[in-house]
Structure formats: C-alpha cells, structure tokens
Amino acid sequence: MSFDDSVIYSTQYLPNDWGNIELGEIADVLSGFAFKSNYFVDQGIPVIKIKNIEPPYVTLDDVQYVSKEIAEQQKKYLLKYNDILISLTGSNITQLASVVGKVGRVRIKNQPMLLNQRVGKVYVTDPEKYDEQFLYYVISRNEVKYQLASMAGGSANQANISPKQIKQLQIPFPPLIEQKTIAQLLAALDDKIELNNVINKNLEEIGQALFKRWFVDFEFPNENGEPYKSSGGEFEESELGLIPKGWRVQSLQRICEFRKGFSYKGKYLSEFGTPMINLGNVSPDGSFKFDSVKYYSDNSFKEHHTVKPGDIVIANTDITQKRDVIGTPVIVPNLNSEKIIISHHITALKNLKLPGLFVYHLLKTDSCKNRLKSFATGTTVLALPKDALPNFTFVCPNYELIMNFNKIVTPIFQQIGDLNRESILLMKIRGTLLPKLMSGEIRVPIEQS
C-alpha cells in the first residue's frame, strides 16, 4: 500500500541536536554480481534482481537460480535476513511504480540468496554512529526516490544511479539512541503487519484444506456425519471423472458474468488516485499483496472496470510464464476507496449465483489452476483465451452442502478481513509518522539508563 510520505526535511527544521550527515560517512553500497545467463539453473540458490524488489520487501516471485557451486564462488554477494536492497536501474520520477531507487528489505528467513547486478546492498559501516534499521526507514521514503531519480543518468525508462551517488545523499543524523527508538517504533508497526499476513495465510490454508477434503477428496460428511468416500458413498461417471452421485458438471458461465479490466496507461500510475489491482497484487498462493497496489490518477476508466470489496478477480495473464499466477483468484479487499479499478490483466467474476467463498476456493485448487493454465497461449506472455473462463467446467455439489461449507468458512474470512483492515490502518499510521519522525517534527521519548 502506498501513502504520501514525501514531506521533505530541511536543515532549518531539524532539531538542534540532530544535523545531517553524508550517507557514505556511515554506510557503504555493494553492487551485485553480473551472473552470466548460462549460470542459471532450474533449482538452486535464488538470485535477487531488480524485479524482486517490491517495496517494502524482497520477493522470490519469478526468481532465477544458480547452483550451490556458483554461490560458493560468490560468497561476497550472499544476502542475510534484514539486508537493505536498492534498485540501481529503473525509470525516472514520472513513473513511480518502477522508479530507480526502490528499496526493500530481505524478510525471508533460512533462505540463502545472492545479489544480482544493478541491485545494491546498503549496509552500515559505523554502527557506533548509525543504526542500520533506522537507515532503512530513512532511505525508503519517497523523498529519497525523488532525490535519486533527479541525480540519475540515462533515459526516462532506463535511469541509472551508482553506489557513489547513493553515498552522496544527505540524511538526518539524530543521536544514536534516538535513531534506535524511532526505528523500534516503526519496526513494531511493520512487525504487526507481517504477523497479520502470516495469520491470514494460515487462515486461508484452513479454508482450502476443508474445501479439498470435502470437494476434491469427496470426504464431506454424509447424512450420518461420516466421511462420504471412506464410508462407501456412491459415485457416477462424468466428463471430469468419477463424482459423487447426484452431483453435476457445471460451467462457470452458468454461475457468473465476466468483466475484463482496464487497459491503463503507465504515465498515469501514481502515488495517489484510484487504487488499481494488477498482476502484482496476485500471489501464486492466492493471497492479496497489499504492498503492490498501484494508484491511477486519470479518470478515463469505466464503471465496468471497477470492483468492490468481496468480489473475486482472477489473473488472466502471466508476463513471463514463471511467476505462476495465471488462473489464480484473489478476493478484493477493502482498500478504503469508493472505487477500485482492475487492470486488463485481471478478470472479475460478477453476479455470482453461488456463494463467493465456494467459487474462490474452487478456483484456488491445484487441479482448477492447472487446467486453466493449460488453456493459456503465448510464449513470453501467457494469456487465457476469451472463452477459457466462461467454458471452464467444474464439479458442482448439491446446494445444501455448498451452504454448509460457506457457513464454516465465512467467520474465517471475516477474521481475515478484520486483520486486513487493521493492516491498512497500520500502514497509514506508518506513512503518516515516517516523515514526521525523520524530520524531528515528532520526537520520541528516550529512556535514560
């Protein structure tokens, strides 16, 4: 989620006991290694590229690998938990979504990773003067993006900055104890947001496990409360194989309508405007990625390009064939906006005739996702044909069983929604506090030992 933290600190507004310091006096920037194309293998040690920096985190989506032997030769570029990474190439400030100077932290535990070329690792060299966690919050502000983009050379779509330029940044220099206190306050907010994400993922897995047991393994409770298949339940042949007697094969076009999203223009992507759901918000596991929400500053979209919280949307495209999101559904969360746009890479399922949570869990199953993916065409860009979703068939149980499932999972998804709303509020608080804390406009109480 993006919020405006572009308030610019100035030496005339900094507290008397602060001041400025050049980043290079307390930190260094390691530029990544140029791994050759023939180094990459199907499995091994992930190599973090610019595309893997999705502020405020580093992701393993669409990642490439090198062997352990190559990794052993390039130990200098191994990453560890909480490392701060910055993109050294990107667009200029007119395209904030891909702007040079994006910052993300490594928050993946127990996973060795390597630093690729055009990605820099920023690390503190003098911990007696500067706290590394505080430095992360300093350079993750939009103000720093603006400064770096203005310093960058190259074209509008291929702007470059160097470690030397990053080290020339003037950054606020509070007393070390105040740096640590500010960082701890902001980190507490981030930690709670991360915890909410983990809880939500676990809750989603509970719902999916129940769906699989009932509607894939056919172990739903029979009239005696016993598992149907294990208790000798009757089956009959169908075009999708053996299914419980009385069930039927149904197509998606019989239970909903389909609306494709908006063909947007990149120049209108912004830090403000109408929130827009794009491929970047779809995780391969079906969870919604709040930190990748984009905003659209132009009003040329139509009403049929919009969705509301609770709607189901599905990725109809995969840019590289490797991110593995084509055919993946997500539930639209509350983004505190009257309207939410979907991009042309997304299709919305509208006017459902079955409970949305049943349809969502159905589309999340591996069998459905793999079947949908098999319909996709293209090489560099995979796309679902126009008739793939309408003609997609599934096994439809009796309505009573669907409603029983819906009754169980509805409270689970209400809790997910509550945690999502809390996370959005925490992000907003963080976005409001960050520039004020970094300028000294708000001072934190310091415990004296």
Kindly report, residue by residue over 306-357, the tens digit of the pLDDT: 999 999 999 999 875 556 889 999 999 988 888 999 999 999 999 999 999 9
Give the pLDDT confidence of 51-92 residue by residue, as tens digits. 999 888 998 988 999 999 999 999 999 999 999 999 999 887
- 3-class secondary structure, 441: coil
The span from the CA of 322 to the CA of 64, in Å, is: 9
> Which residues in 213-315 belong to E strands, given as ranges?
235-236, 243-244, 248-251, 257-260, 269-270, 274-277, 294-296, 306-307, 312-315
pTM of the model: 0.86
Q: Residue 5 pLDDT > 50, yes or no?
A: no
- Secondary structure (3-state) at 177: helix
108-141, pLDDT tens digit by residue? 999 999 999 999 999 999 999 999 999 999 999 9
Quote the pLDDT of residue 48: 98
Q: CB-based burial of residue 42 (10 Å sphere; 0-12 exposed, 13-18 middle, 19+ buried)?
A: exposed
Counting residues of the chain whose pLDDT is more than 90, the rounded percentage is: 76
Beta strand 340-342 pairing with 306-307: antiparallel
Closest CA to 340 of 306, 312, 311: 306
First to last CA, the chain: 37
Q: Please report, for residues 45, 163, 177, the alpha-carbon distance to residue 79 in angstroms, rounded to integers and kept in the order given.
A: 11, 17, 27
Residue ranges of domains in the chain, CATH in brackets: 20-172 (3.90.220.20), 207-405 (3.90.220.20)
**Sole residue written with tokens 């330029």:** 165
Whether 28 and 123 have beta carbons less than 8 Å apart is answered as yes
Report the alpha-carbon distance of residue 211 to residue 45 in Å, rounded: 34
8 A C-beta contact, residue 172 and residue 438: yes
What mean pLDDT comes out for the span 211-222? 97
Axis crossing angle, helix 399-439 with helix 356-364, rounded to the nearest 10:
80
